[in-house]
Chain A
Amino acid sequence: MVTISEKAAEKLNGNGRLNLEAADVTGQHAARLSGYPEDATVSDLVRELVDRLGLSRNDPSGLPYTYHARHEREGRHLHASEVVGDALQTGDKITLQPNIDAG
């Protein structure tokens, strides 16, 4: 109950935006996001990050890679349909991890 109340209060007091950090698998690419909208979905966030971090979008056949966002604080992969404001807090770090084939 306390956690829910705190989260609700945080949302009411906040501006509906979060500051996050993101990185790729090896940590070569990393970025700080400021003011990311809470009402976006994780799918939106991943799509933006793949673009902004300059990560590969498609395989050699032109099929899109599937990236998952690893929520480092909770140690789990976020579901694409989750809402950013529900799943993440300011200061959270996520890692983009693809499903990718070697041939």
Chain B
Amino acid sequence: MAIVDKFQYVADVRSEPGDPLGQLPVDPDWEPAVQWAHFEAVRQGKLPPLMRCSSARVEPVWHPECGEPRVDGIRIAFDRDDQDGEGLLSFVIPQAYFRPAVEVGSAVLVEEGKLQEGQRFTYEVNAFPRPRPAADARHPSDSGFTVEEIIQPLPLGSVSLEATLQGAKRINGPGWSDGDVPLFIPEGVIAEAKELARQAGEFESGGVLIGRLFRDAAGHELFSVVTAFIAAPHAKAETTRLTFTADTWAAVRAAVELRGQDELLLGWAHSHPFWCRSCPEERRHDCSLLRPFFSAHDVALHRAVFSGPFHVAFLLSDLGEDDLACDVFGWRYGMVMHRGYYMTGVATAEGDELKEATPKRSQESEPLHPGYGAAESSAVCDTQGCDRPEQTKQQLPAR
């Protein structure tokens, strides 16, 4: 994919009292943001339903008060050939998107002795023009071969969203956003994942969620429906780690083909066992492991394998209570965030959940909703970075 970005970005880092500590060149990974924006355009019916976009432009949104070069966000723009004169389509990504890149870069300041590990700091991002030729979609290499990207159509079924919502129970979690693609997970799928986690005991467990994408028969909205959970075969489970091997992916693919229902890999699931069993009660109170969290490795796996804007991650956490906590994470503004979902196959009383379950359509400029309580890694946006997208000065702990 060709992403044209004619700017270079620099983070001005300061200590919490405001003393300048240095500048960090930052080079964010634009791919998730671009694909998320593209998917939003598909959701709104403004671009054809393709799995990915082939090209996009990235440019800074200048701070409304400070102006250039202070960055307030990022604009992702797509050209489109249409007849109504709206040739340019753009989406704004909040400045919090720079956070992971800044946090990674802060390691340099730690090495230079300007920051202590774990010390909090603030940063502002500035952008400067950089002549940079656009990449060609076909890459001639030193070896003389070419690589041409294949853009697959997004396989969309057509079903009534309203009908799908019938009897569905809205699971808000801490990160519900009306802007997220509606996600439906059958109670039976959750029960299977829970049972696997219980059987795994002190080890992690996991698998892959498969299902389909639909376009609402009565409108533009896209939504995803999980149809099955495939327990990860050939995965290596440990107490604090679950390795999905190449054989895992091959077996999952074989299972999907065997089912013969043209299902997509919609996401993955894994569990965190009760790590605090041997800890005294008083130490558990403030323990960061006694809450659902998405680790840096979880974010990296999601980025590496499930980078599609509709991909989700289901987390089961044993917090020492009767039942396992269930949380879902997904892409929002190209960042991995806590999100909500609808549970289907649940017996409801008097259909009251249906009223609650009516979704609102997302708006392009809708403020970012917080994905709190889940941020072990900087790559997961927490409240600090995401509930105030208008704020361009960010606080972070140094690496």
Contacts and interface: CB of A to CB of B under 8 A. Distances in A.
B278 interface: no
A37 B240 contact: no
A28 B242 contact: no
Contacts of A25: 249, 253, 265, 305
B143 A40 contact: yes
Contacts of B311: 26
Interface in A21-53: 21, 23-37, 40, 48, 52
Interface of A: 17, 21, 23-37, 40, 48, 52, 54-56, 59-60, 65-68, 70, 77, 95, 97-103
B145 A36 contact: yes
A60 B47 CA distance: 34
A35 B51 contact: no
Interface stretch (B117-125, B183-191, B292-300): B292-300
A28 B308 contact: yes
Contact of A32 (B1, B52, B148, B299): B148
A26 B304 contact: no
A30 B297 contact: no
Classify chain B: how many residues form its interface, as a range: 35 or more
B146 A34 contact: yes
B303 interface: yes
Given A59-B300, A101-B241, 5 more contacts: A26-B265, A54-B31, A77-B247, A98-B244, A102-B241
Contacts of B246: 66-68, 70, 77, 97-99
Interface in B159-209: 204, 206
Contact of B296 (A36, A60, A97): A60
Contact of B144 (A35, A52, A54): A35
B304 A103 contact: no
Contacts of A98: 244, 246, 249, 304-305
B236 to A, nearest CB: 9
A102 B147 contact: no
